[in-house]
Amino acid sequence: MRTVRRDQHRGSCQWCGKELPPHGRGRPRKFCSASCKQRAYEQRNNVSGTSIPADAVILSPQRANALRDGLFELRCSAEDVATASKEGAASEELTQLCAELVVLARELEELR
């Protein structure tokens, strides 16, 4: 069984998902900033007493539409890579298409 020293353990913010810096003594941090901690508190407070799970992600209709559009764009970009690969595209073209795919995926990772 492998043990991880406390100062080597890295987590991610429970609100935004950003990687947390290694911590020293005491309890590991859960949030990267006071702002994320506050947003998480507000979310828990808003859903308490309802049937909505505390870890649910609530999106405005505008944000949901933007996310849907972003996922469509990501799928189209992946299809472009697959088509270019099937048609024997040059490695430079595939590299460019893959770079665009990575950029789109990173933008979509920021769900909250």
Residue 3 phi, psi dihedral angles, 5° rounding: -105, 145
- Mean pLDDT of all residues in 27-50: 88
Q: What pLDDT, on a 0 to 100 scale, did the predictor assign at position 15?
A: 81
CB burial string 67-82: b at 16+ within 10 A, e below: eeeeeeebeebeebbe
Q: What pLDDT, on a 0 to 100 scale, did the predictor assign at position 4?
A: 46
Q: Assess whether pLDDT exceeds 70 at residue 10.
A: no
User: How far apart (Å, rounded) are the C-alpha atoms in residues 22 and 8?
Assistant: 6
Q: What pLDDT, on a 0 to 100 scale, did the predictor assign at position 5?
A: 47
CA 73 to chain centre: 17
List the chain domain ranges. 6-47, 61-109
Residue 31: is it exposed, middle or buried by C-beta count within 10 angstroms (0-12/13-18/19+)? buried
Answer with the residue of higher pLDDT: 83 or 7.
83
Which residue in this structure is represented by tokens 């043990």? 3
Which residue in this structure is represented by tokens 């609100």? 15
DSSP state of 7: G
Least confident of 7-11, 39-43, 71-75, 100-104: 7-11
Answer with the residue of higher pLDDT: 99 or 107.
99
